[in-house]
């Protein structure tokens, strides 16, 4: 049996997305910037896709810029916004962000901007006093994750909005939250999402931008996407993204509850199999419904990962963007977890299509493998 429990790395494209992409490649392949009828129709479908993607964000008053993925959207949000501001800026970012955000802030620091890294506690919650201090010192831009990609920790978006209180632009990286955790654009100025995390194709993402927010383009040329992302739009990919959004929305408002029930079933099954298992991060019941980070005492995460792989179970040890570097998670250490404990970490991430059979199979294999691996190490 196979059990794919690494949906935060990527998801299997849904049939609706595949069909929409095929139809676009076969029949709707015209350039939406041209002026003859088939191209005008392609432009109309592009506009409809924008509206469809914004709908779950209550973003009717926002622009949506299509990008090549979450990384480009994060770069455009962070670098594009701060570049448009005059002079040296004070900017704030949490200590547990995705590499595409962290690296963008590193670049800002190299340019002379004052970068404030806001710490987190063992649950992944922000140091709110440190954020308030940054705001008092004149921070003009704040970037945080809606859902942490390694632990499932949820950011209190409304508290963030109250703390900033209009003094700075707010960017929320919603790559792991979009459609799985509710969001309202009234609490942010910029919001990032990625297609392949929600059963759409790879190579497509988007940045929602509140009206009036000014950005400097990161990619210049023909002026597509309101001049912020030049280049002919990836219409097949965008069609796939829009179809995936529709399919996820069709699952209804109970989708998140279903995900949470599956996640808690997985944790319960693993605890029965490995009573000493550790939950890294927040209480799973109040975290995102689809991500949990577990530690298996005495067994390195990559060892458990490869042992599970041999049984057809796919998991990860952290962010897929840096998982091949085999180092202790910076997210977990930023949360105050000791390096030797962080080495035991394995991330499990589910999707609406994850079955109870997959979950039960994975839990059973974890128990068997943990017993074998700990006996081998004791020798």
Residue pLDDT, tens place only, 147-169: 999 999 999 999 999 999 999 99
pLDDT band at residue 327, thresholds of 50, 70 and 90? confident
Query: Which active-site residues does the annotation give?
Result: 321
pLDDT of residue 61: 87
pLDDT band at residue 318, thresholds of 50, 70 and 90? confident
Using the predicted structure, report yes or no on whether residue 368 has a pLDDT greater than 80: yes
pLDDT of residue 377: 63
Using the predicted structure, report yes or no on whether residue 379 has a pLDDT greater than 90: no
Q: Are 327 and 339 in contact (CB under 8 A)?
A: no
> Where does the chain have alpha helices with state H?
15-26, 37-54, 70-84, 99-110, 128-136, 157-164, 235-250, 255-273, 301-309, 330-334, 339-342, 356-378
Which tens digits make up the pLDDT trace of 114-136?
A: 999 999 999 999 999 999 999 99
pLDDT of residue 364: 98
CA distance 132 to 276: 38
Using the predicted structure, report yes or no on whether residue 319 has a pLDDT greater than 70: no
Which tens digits make up the pLDDT trace of 81-111?
A: 999 999 999 999 999 999 999 999 999 999 9
CA distance 331 to 319: 9
pLDDT of residue 196: 98
pLDDT band at residue 378, thresholds of 50, 70 and 90? low
> What is the sign, positive or negative, of the torsion defined by CA atoms of 281, 330, 340, 351?
positive
Using the predicted structure, report yes or no on whether residue 202 has a pLDDT greater than 90: yes
pLDDT of residue 280: 97
Q: State mean pLDDT over 5-17.
A: 98
CA distance 260 to 355: 13
Using the predicted structure, report yes or no on whether residue 186 has a pLDDT greater than 80: yes
pLDDT of residue 373: 93
Q: If you average pLDDT over every residue of the chain, what do you get?
A: 95
CA distance 203 to 264: 32
Contacts of 313 (CB under 8 A, 6+ apart): 2, 3, 5, 361, 362, 365, 366
Which of 117, 116, 127 shows the shortest CA–CA distance to 163? 127
pLDDT of residue 324: 52
Q: State mean pLDDT over 44-50.
A: 96
Using the predicted structure, report yes or no on whether residue 358 has a pLDDT greater than 60: yes
> What is the sign, positive or negative, of the torsion defined by CA atoms of 326, 329, 330, 336?
negative
Domains of the chain, CATH where assigned: 3-10+253-378 (3.90.1150.10), 15-250 (3.40.640.10)
pLDDT of residue 236: 98
pLDDT of residue 137: 98
């Amino acid at each position: 049996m196979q059990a794919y429990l690494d949906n935060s790395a990527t998801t299997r494209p849904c049939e609706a997305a595949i069909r929409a992409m095929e139809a676009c490649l076969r029949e709707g392949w015209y350039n939406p910037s041209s002026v003859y009828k088939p191209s005008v129709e392609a432009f109309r479908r592009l506009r409809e896709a924008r509206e469809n993607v914004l709908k779950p964000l209550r973003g009717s008053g926002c622009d949506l810029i299509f990008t090549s993925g979450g990384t480009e959207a994060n770069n455009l949000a962070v670098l594009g916004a701060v570049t448009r501001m005059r002079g040296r800026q004070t900017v704030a970012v949490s200590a547990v962000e995705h590499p595409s955000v962290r690296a963008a802030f590193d670049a800002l620091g190299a340019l002379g901007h004052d970068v404030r890294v806001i710490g987190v506690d063992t649950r992944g919650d922000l140091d709110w006093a440190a954020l308030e201090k940054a705001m008092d010192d004149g921070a003009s831009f704040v970037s945080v994750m809606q859902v942490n990609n390694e632990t499932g920790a949820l950011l209190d978006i409304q508290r963030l909005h109250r703390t900033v209180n209009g003094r700075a632009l707010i960017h929320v990286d919603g790559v792991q939250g979009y459609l799985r955790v509710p969001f309202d654009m009234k609490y942010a100025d910029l919001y990032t999402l990625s297609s392949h995390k929600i059963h759409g194709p790879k190579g497509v993402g988007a940045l929602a931008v509140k009206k009036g927010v000014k950005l400097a383009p990161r990619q210049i040329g023909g002026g597509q996407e309101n001049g912020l992302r030049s280049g002919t739009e990836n219409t097949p990919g965008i069609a796939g993204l829009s179809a995936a959004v529709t399919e996820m929305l069709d699952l209804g408002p109970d989708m998140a509850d279903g995900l949470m029930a599956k996640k808690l079933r997985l944790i319960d099954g693993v605890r029965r199999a490995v009573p000493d298992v550790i939950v890294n991060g927040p209480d799973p019941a109040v975290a995102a419904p689809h991500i949990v980070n577990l530690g298996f005492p005495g067994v390195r995460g990559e060892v458990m990962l490869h042992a599970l792989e041999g049984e057809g179970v796919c998991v990860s040890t952290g962010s897929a963007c840096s998982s091949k570097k085999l180092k202790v998670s910076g997210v977990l250490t930023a949360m105050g977890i000791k390096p030797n404990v962080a080495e035991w970490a394995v991330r499990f991430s589910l999707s609406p299509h994850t079955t109870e059979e997959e979950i039960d199979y994975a839990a059973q294999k974890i128990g068997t493998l943990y017993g074998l691996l700990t006996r081998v190490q004791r020798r």
